[in-house]
Chains A and B, each alone.
Chain A
Amino acid sequence: MLQKIHHEYREKIRAFALEKIEPLAKSIDEEQRFPTEQLKPLAEMGLMSMVIPEEYGGEPIDTISYSIAVEELSRVCGSTGITIAAHNSLGAFPILKFGNNDQKMKYLPRAARGELIAFGLTEPEAGSDAGGTKSIAIRDGDDWIINGSKCFITSASHAMATIATARTSDNPKEKDITSFILEKGWEGYSVGKKENKMGLRGSDTASLHFDDLRVSDEYLLGKIGEGFKQMLITLDGGRISIGAMALGLAQGALDCALKYAADRKQFGKPIVANQAIQHKLADMATEIEAARLMIYDCSERKDAGIRFSRYSAMCKLYASEVGRRAAHSSMEILSGIGYYTGPYPVERIWRDVKLCEIGEGTSEIQRLVIARDLLASLKKV
């Protein structure tokens, strides 16, 4: 599964993450600040263009390497992990996959240089039910007039553009949803207030509002009515990266617990000498390894062109639950000091990782995707 290049790539990203990302992780969480100064070094490492071909200025890598990158970034900073995962999987990918050559030429080189692209799918009334989108695009001559609101959008305030879905018919059916590329700065495009979140406080989450936003066909992504299908395909890939993010956070929690348990003495011996603590660590490590294998396996399926939506849902579902349990166990091992914000990263990890069970489809939606796929396979037999 893993080749020598993957191990070498991990070492490279780990070193970068420790040098450039980890030192800011604590302060951006406490100050609830998006670290724009990180975008340039991230781009220089190729981390803003992991899915972008060279002809568009990218440095494409295979999906296992991409997962490793998100994992290693998240291991030291969940906020950076989600910013990178969303930009690559949800921002750059759909333009590459569904965009025309002009669109790719226009946006992908900028994305590769570190300009963020956001993904505008979720709405106040359309969360798990993404097909229930209320945003609407109405034909006006050769243009479209778009009205609507999107919420919980990662990188909303900083992104140069957003790929947004809107209904292109009054008939609210999934096949009437269309995607548009909308640029920040256009008349009618505004960013709402920043969300005050439990965790990932160094990532930029806000709402977007479109008020009589006029856009021409040039900015239509793919064809009319393909938006919903595009989003599902995009999310299939995105889920691998959220799994990788949860995996990195889980690994960070284990790193922290293991070191603490070896150092901390109670009853005259390091607490790691207690069987209950050892077994907790063993369970964490075992679950983390299983999640890692699921993520890499799914990454390989994706690169091999095998249908993988069941597997991306499974790895995202499992890794995010493993992440929550690992963070919980890690805080349990640190106990009181682990509940403090600051002295150790585990308290931040514990808040950060909860999002992985919610974003890009809640665990309940992953189960729905998995069950549907299972049932479909039953019908085929």
Chain B
Amino acid sequence: MDFNLSEEELEFKQMAREFAEKRLYPQAEEMDEKAETPKELIKECGELGYLGFTVPEEYGGMGFSSTAFAGVLEEFSAACAGFGILLSVHCSLCCEIINLFGNDDIKKKYLPPMATGEKIGSYCLTEPNAGTDLVSISSTAENKGDYYLLNGTKTFVTNGGLASVFIIFAKTNPDEGHRGLSCFVVDSNLDGISIGKPEKKCGIKASDTREISFVDVKVPKENLLGEEGNGFRMAVTILNSGRIGVSFQAIGIAQSALNETIKYSKERKQFGKPLAAFQALQFKMADMATRIDASRLLAYRAAQLKDAGKPCHRETSMSKLFCSQTANFVANEAVQIHGGYGYMKEYAVERYFRDARVTEIYEGTSEAHRMVISKDLLKD
């Protein structure tokens, strides 16, 4: 099944798979154990164009569609989900928001170095007291004429320790709800920014997650992205990209977990026959594969709608909700079929199980997506 992908899109998926096989699979276990991504790997991805995959060519990128990028994300995440999210946050959130809402000056300044990977982006939206509830964001950006004075704390910041560019959401008018929210492109070397220690996580350990605080950071006025008060609308628009990104991350994890399980079930013998000969396990694998196929269809539909510029909130939410549940279902069954070995770190399914868990949590929890979907169903 090709999900109506163009030849070019399939080709990129194949190239990404080859890169993943050569560079990601062999070190994914070590990246998890050490909880870091080698800088070299980021550099290589930059040189190959993956970090600017969806950035327009005029700004130094490859100019490809979200649908083409989806295949890359899936293949990278299949090998190392922690690396997949680095790429997704950098491309789908950071590059994309600058490209969609920035003026020419800001695009010229930031997109070319981001497209090559010289600068990595980090997306600072969530706060300790503002998770699903974005309107409660309490970071502030006070308009001082030539600059904005930024104060606040952001949490769960992916790429926090690697990034040179922070996309930061803060209230320019704290008295207004979502209309008071604005978005800024902030250089990480400005005075007053402090970056916390890497957070210890259950999975996607190769990905760098931090808390970032801002105390009286002077952000030049030209680094306001779009217009004052437009931050909420921008955040909501860009959520579609993030959800598609996590959908394909989840599909990648699930596919790898299934592949490992099929392989293991043919090799491992108990009671004088391979596990694959037991009907209960055959049916488990059938369910795993069916859910993965359904996930791919939902996710590619979402990506294609987005590329076509059509409204797709409901579809991206459905995709993210379902794909993340699939990844958890599949990874759990994969561990189960591996038995004791599945609980040990020598076997990749142990990592897939931990990695899959986050896909139901970030880029909106499953509950947040059910809110989006049901709101859309019940409108009017």
Report which A residues bind B (CB closer than 8 A): 30, 122, 125-129, 132, 151-152, 195-199, 265-268, 274, 276-277, 324, 328, 331-332, 335-336, 338-342, 347, 350-351, 354-355, 357-359, 362-364, 367
A82 to B161: give the CA distance in the assembly, Å.
38
B365 contact from A332, A341, A342, A359, Cβ within 8 A: A332
Cα distance A147–B281 when bound, in Å? Answer: 33
Q: Could you say which of A151, A199, A335 contacts B340, with CB atoms under 8 Å apart?
A: A151
CA distance A336 to B126 in the complex (A): 10
Task: Give chain B's interface residues, CB within 8 Å of chain A.
Answer: 126, 129-133, 135-136, 155-156, 199-203, 269-272, 278, 280-281, 328, 332, 335-336, 339-340, 342-346, 350, 353-354, 357-358, 360-362, 365-367, 370
Q: Return 6 A-B CB contacts under 8 Å, by A number.
A: A197-B344, A328-B328, A331-B357, A354-B343, A362-B339, A363-B336
Can you name the residue of chain A whose Cβ is closest to the Cβ of B338? A358
Please report the C-alpha to C-alpha distance between residue A359 and residue B343 in the assembled complex, in whole angstroms. Answer: 10
How far, in whole Å, are A356 and B201 apart by their CA atoms in the complex? 22
Contact yes or no, B370 A341, CB < 8 A: no
Contacts of A332 in B (CB 8 A): 360-361, 365-367
Q: How far is the CA of A277 from the CA of B370 in the complex (A)?
A: 12
Query: Given the complex, which residues of B lie within 8 Å of A350, measured CB to CB?
Result: 202, 357
Bound: A364/B336 CA distance, A: 9
CB distance from B185 to the nearest CB of A (A): 24
**Please, how many angstroms separate the alpha-carbon atoms of A196 and B200 in the complex?**
17
Contact partner of A340 (CB less than 8 A), chosen from B130, B200, B340, B360, is B200
Task: Establish whether residues A198 and B339, one from each chain, have CB atoms under 8 Å apart when the complex forms.
Answer: no
Assess the B361–A266 pair: CB atoms within 8 A.
Answer: no
- A30→B370 CA distance, assembly (Å): 35
Give Cα distance in the complex from A198 to B202, angstroms: 9
Q: Are A354 and B340 in contact (CB under 8 A)?
A: no
- Contact present for A276 and B156 (CB under 8 Å): no
Q: Given A127-B270, A128-B270, A276-B367, do A359 and B199 touch, yes or no (CB 8 Å)?
A: no
Would A339 and B202 be within 8 Å (CB), given that A198-B350, A198-B354 are in contact?
A: yes
Report chain B residues within 8 Å CB of A336. Answer: 126, 131, 155-156, 361-362
> Which 3 A-B pairs have CB atoms at the shortest separation, nearest pair first?
A129-B270, A266-B133, A341-B200
Query: Given the interface contacts A128-B270, A332-B366, A336-B126, does A197 sit within 8 Å of B343 by beta carbon?
Result: yes
Given the interface pairs A127-B340, A199-B343, A276-B367, the reply to whether A364 lies near B280 with Cβ below 8 Å is: yes
Contact B202 A347 (CB under 8 A): yes
Across the interface, B361 reaches (CB within 8 A) one of A199, A335, A357, A364, namely A335
CB distance from A28 to the nearest CB of B (A): 15
* Residue numbers in B under 8 Å from A362 (CB-CB): 336, 339
Q: Are the CB atoms of A198 and B345 closer together than 8 Å?
A: yes
Complex CA gap A350/B331 in Å reads 14
Chain A residues with Cβ below 8 Å from B358 are 339
Q: How far is the CB of A89 from chain B (nearest CB, A)?
A: 18
Note all chain A residues with C-beta closer than 8 A to B280.
Answer: 364, 367
* A341 → chain B closest CB, angstroms: 4
* CB < 8 Å neighbour of B343 from A30, A126, A198, A276: A198
**A266–B270 CB distance below 8 A:** no
Which single residue of chain A is at the shortest CB-CB distance from B270? A129
A117 to chain B, nearest CB (A): 20
Interfacial chain A residues near B360, Cβ < 8 Å: 332
Whether A196 pairs with B367 at a CB distance below 8 angstroms is: no
A335: B residues at CB distance < 8 A: 131-132, 361, 365
Residues of A within 8 A of B365 (CB): 332, 335
**In the complex, what distance in Å separates the CA atom of A260 from the CA atom of B131?**
14
Residues of B within 8 A of A338 (CB): 361
With the chains together, A358 CA to B136 CA distance in Å?
43
Nearest-neighbor residue (CB-CB) of B340 within chain A: A152
Cα distance, A198 to B346, chains bound together (Å)? 10
Provide the residues of chain B in CB contact with A342, threshold 8 Å. 200
Q: Given the complex of chains A and B, what is the CA–CA distance between A30 and B280 in angstroms?
A: 36
- Other 6 A-B pairs with CB < 8 A, given A30-B200, A266-B133: A152-B340, A198-B344, A267-B136, A332-B366, A342-B200, A364-B280
Residues in B whose Cβ lies below 8 Å from that of A129: 270-272
Shortest CB distance B336–A (Å)? 6
A24 vs B135: C-alpha distance in the bound complex, in angstroms?
Answer: 39
Are A266 and B281 closer than 8 Å at their CB atoms?
A: no
Contact B367 A354 (CB under 8 A): no
Shortest beta-carbon distance, A337 to chain B, in Å? Answer: 8
Question: Which chain A residue shows the least CB distance to B342?
Answer: A358
Distance between A106 CB and nearest chain B CB, rounded to angstroms: 31
* Residues of B close to A122: CB separation below 8 A: 340
Q: Are B336 and A196 in contact (CB under 8 A)?
A: no
In the bound complex, how far is the Cα of B279 from the Cα of A67, in angstroms? 34
Q: CA–CA, A151 to B340, complex, Å?
A: 9
Rounded to whole angstroms, the CA-CA distance of A127 and B270 in the bound complex is 7
Query: What are the residues of chain A within 8 A of B340 when measuring CB–CB?
Result: 122, 127, 151-152, 358-359
Instruction: Check B357–A341 contact: CB distance below 8 A.
Output: no
Please tell me if the beta carbons of A351 and B339 are within 8 angstroms of each other in the complex. no
**Residue from the set A268, A335, A340 with the largest chain B CB neighbour count within 10 Å:** A335
CB of A252, distance to nearest CB on chain B (Å): 16
Residues of chain B with a CB closer than 8 A to A125's CB: 269
Min distance, Cβ A328 to any Cβ of chain B, angstroms: 8
> Which B residue's beta carbon lies closest to that of A327?
B357
- How far apart are A235's CB and chain B's nearest CB, in angstroms? 15
Closest to A274 in B: B367
CA of A222 to CA of B141, assembled, Å: 77
Smallest CB–CB gap between B307 and chain A, Å? 29
Contact A267 B361 (CB under 8 A): no
A358 touches B343 (CB 8 A): yes
Complex partner residue of B353 from A128, A196, A267, A354, CB under 8 angstroms: A354
Cα(A357)–Cα(B370), bound, Å: 29
Which B residues lie within 8 Å of A363 (CB)?
A: 336
Cα–Cα, bound, A342→B198 (Å): 13
Given A335-B131, A347-B202, A350-B202, A266 contacting B136 (CB threshold 8 A): yes
Residues of B within 8 Å of A126, CB to CB, are 270
Q: Distance (Å) between the CB of B232 and the closest chain A CB?
A: 14
Nearest chain B CB to A375's CB is how many angstroms away? 15
Of the listed residues A274, A336, A359, the one surrounded by the most CB atoms of chain B closer than 10 A to its CB is: A336
Contact status B199-A266, CB under 8 Å: no
Query: What distance in Å separates the Cβ of B16 from its nearest Cβ neighbour in chain A?
Result: 26
Quote the shortest CB–CB distance from A137 to chain B (angstroms): 22
Chain A, residue nearest B361 (CB): A335
Q: Give the CA-CA distance A87 to B67 in the complex, in Å.
A: 55
From known contacts A354-B343, A358-B343, infer whether A341 and B201 are also in contact, taking CB-CB under 8 Å. yes
User: What separation, in Å, do the CA atoms of A268 and B130 have in the docked complex?
Assistant: 10
